Chains A and B, each alone.
Chain A
Amino acid sequence: EVQLVESGGGLVQPGGSLRLSCSASGFTFSGYIMYWVRQAPGKGLEYISSISINGGSTYYADSVKGRSFISRDNSRNTLYLQMSSLRVEDTAVYYCVKRLTAASVGDYWGQGTLVIVSS
């Protein structure tokens, strides 16, 4: 059974930093592109970052570019998102998402971890 378990969320002050982690199991983690998708409270969904299977290619949404860094450790089956210079508008549930083999969509999602940026 595929499982994605995010951690690392919490309350952080504006300008602060946070590292989110996603522990993957039930599939060959090293064989899949992974994403981070976020959802602000009561709002829609936003892809914020993507990483290739070996970590050599990464993509970011403009909203987080220059402030976030996606990485992965295939030996630990873990995906990361390092976020810095956090803003109030970064408050959201952050989902770790596995890419479907056949298309650039998310076929498995974690339960999400809530990041609250507030003073």
Chain B
Amino acid sequence: EIVMTQSPATLSVSPGERATLSCRASQSISSNLAWYQQKPGQAPRLLIYDVSTRATGIPARFSGSGSGTEFTLTISSLQSEDFAVYYCQQSNNWPYTFGQGTKLEIK
């Protein structure tokens, strides 16, 4: 099973600033990497798939990068609605696995 490790566990950022979240895979997953956002009491929402492709309706301030085992989600200018938990997910091998999440909180 591929283990996904996210860092940091918690990130404190002020509105309007940039946030950078990291995700590492225990082995190469090519470009089979997605990012989700989850707010309390809600289901996850797909943000990005295939490392850098934004899902339908996702604002351009969300961007993804990386390859192989190291990946990054960048939120260029944080809005109030962006404070949430973010998960990365690999779909290279079954079982598809998620990272443990990064909580993005208001500084």
Could you give, for residues 82-107 of chain B, a 1 whenever the CB lies within 8 Å of some chain A CB and a 0 otherwise?
A: 00000101010011111111000000
- B18-68 at interface with A (beta carbon < 8 Å): 32, 34, 36, 38, 43-46, 49-50, 53, 55-56
CA distance A74 to B99 in the complex (A): 32
Q: Is the interface of B mostly helix, strand, loop or mixed?
A: loop
The listed residue with most B CB atoms (<10 A of its CB), out of A44, A105, A109, is: A105
Number of residues of chain A lying within 8 A (CB) of chain B: 21
Write out the residue numbers on chain A whose beta carbons fall within 8 Å of the beta carbon of B32: 103-104
CB distance from B78 to the nearest CB of A (A): 22
Question: Can you name 6 extra interface pairs (CB under 8 A) apart from A44-B100, A107-B55?
Answer: A44-B87, A44-B99, A47-B94, A103-B50, A105-B89, A106-B46
A contacts, CB < 8 Å to B: 44-48, 50, 59, 61-62, 95, 100, 102-107, 109-112
B contacts, CB < 8 Å to A: 1, 32, 34, 36, 38, 43-46, 49-50, 53, 55-56, 87, 89, 91, 94-101
